[in-house]
Amino acid sequence: MTTTQADLDRLAVNTIRTLAMDAVQAANSGHPGTPMAMAPVAYELWQNHLRFDPNDPIWPNRDRFVLSMGHASMLLYSMLHLTQVKAVNAAYESVGKPSVTLDDIKRFRQMDSRCAGHPEYRWTSGIETTTGPLGQGYATSVGMAVAGKWLAAHYNRPGFDLFGYHVYALGGDGCMMEGAASEAASLAGHLKLDNLCWIYDNNKITIEGNTGWSFSEDVATRFVAYGWNVTRVSDANDLEMLKRAYNLAKETKGRPTLIIVDSHIAWGAPNLQDTHEAHGAPLGEEEIKLTKRNYGWPEDAKFRVPTEVLEHFNKGMGKRGGNLRSEWMSLYEKYKAKFPKEADELVRIQKRQLPDGWDKNLKPFPTDPKGLAGRDASGKVLNAIAQSVPWLIGGSADLAPSTKTRLTFEGAEDFGPPGLAADPHHPTKIHFGGRNMHFGIREIAMGAVLNGMALTKVRPYGSGFFVFSDFSRPCIRLAAIMEIPVIYIFTHDSIGVGEDGPTHQPIEHLASLRAIPGLITMRPGDPNEVLEAWKTIMKMRHEPVCLVLSRQNMPTVDRTKCGSAEGVAKGAYILSEAEGGKPDVLLMASGTEVALAMDSQAKLKSEGIKARVVSMPSWELFEHQDREYRDSVLPPSIKARVSIEALSTFCWERYVGPTGESIGMRTFGASAPLKELNKKFGFTPEAVAEAAKRTIAANR
């Protein structure tokens, strides 16, 4: 019997569908409906369009596929298994075994399976980003497209088009409702990212039921207004129309593309058409048998993968992707011979390594009682580093003049499509090789775009006022889960914002960020601590960092009389020792309150009380040190302790202990000049000294 192309197409699509049904049923948990409905959409894209080599899933110029609706994870796991994507180890070397085995699929959503409930980056090769929170995958894909444009502009040469990949993201109604996707879509349209294609599963179903209860906007018109190219496929099973839509996306210039695909959830399930029942629950054994019968599939066969389907994918995507990757490697070898410096940079980017001499422009700040604001010191250090690390790229959510995050050296320029209308009063050169990004007032999109850029291995940073870190927090959390080295620069870090009042004065924010596992927070206490913080940050390869900086000046400490600022790398260190090295009390502080601790130490000394000042810019780094070091900084025998931070006191108990005191914020702030705020809330040497004496008395 002759097997036609249509037969192979149908067999492959139904294999994807039945794997999803069987895996969800075996787990008694998950979402089978969307993978069943979207199977033809994924099949056509992967088999006939995606530039992806299953044998090298980290090939730099591969097309990216992002599953924004992460609950449909079995769709992605099925594709990774059927295309036989190979696993990659931590050294970025292919290890030859399958990324997703059939046993992994059989153990879907179970402990240690490579098929977790939602796709997880770094856990399963071939997954480009961790998805789950709806809209985040769409938004992250914009960052991947941004990085692709930048890499092409910076490294391509005539005859050497090393970068030109496309990014495809598949999402649903929930993604379209989330603000993250809307912000990112607006930015992508503005930047004219024609290497980006979103596929929208328009099935009109969410967990509660029909979207008519909550979502009735005209999505197509909205995206046209954003500046996108919009096309529609009226039937998710129509492979020819899907092919036409994908080709249109690849051919479109100057606009990203949205493909709206009309579908029915749990396609082929006879009793579940046009319902939400299959959205978040197994179909049930009887419904699965009926559905398989509807497909012409053996009713009792579970996790069936026909050999001809594996061969079909190998001859299609496998052969095409392998050839494309081989051609690229050959081109890269010629590129390396002609452009050795740039070729070396590309290797370092992929391995998250720094250039030799990356810190050559860094100089310590001289002692100065007046000092500098944390944001000003950071701006100087950032510009010094960025001149030596060409792939350090970033910007702010419309606040670069305040956060001091603009790169000002010659050649930095601005990122965007050539010809983009700029401010006529401040003309700048705008092109895709520019390194200053303008995210607009889109903190959520900024965070997600930074994640997408980091996943493409460039080193991104983004900035804003610390109080607005709330907007970016879901993205920061995902960066920590994925272990990617995104840099967040947050300024205006305390009630020091002054007259702007409670809406702009961060109180609980540092405690909130300290609560995120894997995230490094750093709140340096003088300009040289800022310098050392940046040195520490740049060496990190798997940790996102929030650098929290002041608006107001911080005195530059005299390091000939105090501990070296290199102690920042250990998270906390003895800044100023008590006379004789035997303190009566420990004063612990971060940021602008370090200077207050120093003044309080002097006041206590005048009263015959010996205090040790400990600067604690990073709790996380301090906890990474061994017990011996931590005890040397905070001796367990000294119970009299005072913490000083113009933020929430939450969790300082771990360091001050049951008989210590915390000077901090227990309410929101107020609108007033800083000196008045400090007096009102107890940030004065007198208040600190009184707290020190109380805790000393309590521990006698």
611: CATH: 3.40.50.920
- The CA distance from 19 to 119, in Å, is 16
Say yes or no: 22 and 92 in one domain: yes
Ranges in the chain, pLDDT < 50: 1, 274-277
E strand or H helix at 531: helix 527-538
Question: Of 184, 192, 153, whose CA–CA distance to 420 is shortest?
Answer: 192
pLDDT of residue 225: 98
**Final residue before a domain boundary, out of 525, 554, 583:** 554
CA–CA separation, 430 and 102 (whole Å): 49
Q: Give the count of domains, the chain.
A: 3
With 0-12 CB in 10 A as exposed, 13-18 as middle and 19+ as buried, what is 101? middle
Q: Please, which residues have CB within 8 angstroms of residue 99's CB and are 6 or more apart in sequence? A: 57, 80, 85, 86, 87, 88, 114, 124, 125, 126
Considering the domain architecture, whether residues 507 and 598 belong to the same structural domain is answered as: no
> CA-CA distance, 662 to 656, in Å (whole number)?
7
The tokens 């026909």 sit on which residue?
A: 306
User: In terms of DSSP H, where are the helices of 425-464?
Assistant: 443-455
95/142 same-domain check: yes
CA distance 691 to 696: 9
DSSP letters for 293-353: HHHT--TT--S---HHHHHHHIIIIIHHHHHHHHHHHHHHHHHHHH-HHHHHHHHHHHTT-
Residue with tokens 């992605």: 76
Residue 334 lies in a domain: no
**SS3 state of residue 171:** strand
Residue 629 domain-assigned? yes
**Residue recorded with tokens 């649903």:** 172
Instruction: State the virtual CA torsion across 96, 100, 102, 108 in degrees, nearest 10.
Output: 160
Q: Is residue 390 part of a domain?
A: yes
CA separation for the pair 60, 350 (Å, rounded)? 8
User: What is the total residue count of the chain?
Assistant: 700
The pair of structure tokens assigned to 672 is 């007033």
DSSP character string of 2-14 = PPPHHHHHHHHHH
Sign of CA dihedral 429, 435, 440, 441: negative
Q: Closest by alpha carbon to 659, among 629, 685, 687, 691?
A: 691
Judge whether 353 lies within some domain: no
Q: Is residue 183 part of a domain?
A: yes
* pLDDT of the residue at 386: 98
Residue 61 maps to a domain: yes
CB 478 within 8 A of CB 504: no
For residues 301 and 379, state if they share a domain. no
Do 251 and 210 sit in the same domain of this protein? Answer: yes
CATH number of residue 213's parent domain: 3.40.50.970
574 and 614 assigned to the same domain:
yes
What would the two tokens of residue 397 be?
């959510």
Considering the domain architecture, whether residues 158 and 52 belong to the same structural domain is answered as yes
Residue 212 domain boundaries: 5-326
Answer yes or no: do 105 and 213 share one domain: yes
Q: Are residues 299 and 409 in the same domain?
A: no
Residue 382, C-beta contacts closer than 8 angstroms, at least 6 positions apart: 404, 405, 407, 461, 489, 534
Angle (nearest 5°) at CA 33 between 30 and 39: 110
Active site residue 217: no
Q: Does residue 538 belong to any structural domain of this protein?
A: yes
Same-domain pairing of 580 and 536: no
Select which of 120, 178, 183, 443 is catalytic.
443
C-alpha span between 38 and 279 (Å, rounded): 13
Q: Are residues 266 and 397 in the same domain?
A: no
Q: What is the dihedral of CA 540, 543, 548, 554, to 10 degrees?
A: -30
Residue 633 makes CB contacts below 8 A (sequence gap 6+) with 572, 573, 574, 614, 622
Measuring CA to CA, how many Å separate 291 from each of 82, 106, 151, 296, 612?
Answer: 21, 19, 46, 9, 72
Instruction: Enumerate long-range contacts of 91-94, CB under 8 Å, 24 or more apart.
Output: 92/58, 92/350, 92/351, 94/55, 94/56, 94/57
Look at residues 554, 589, 620 and tell me which one is the last residue of a structural domain: 554
Residue 153 lies in a domain: yes
Contacts of 207 (CB under 8 A, 6+ apart): 276, 279, 280
Whole-Å CA distances, 82 to 56, 63, 100, 311, 475: 15, 18, 9, 9, 31
Q: What is the DSSP letter of 426?
A: S
Identify the H or E element spanning 685: helix 685-698
Residues 522 and 550 in one domain: yes
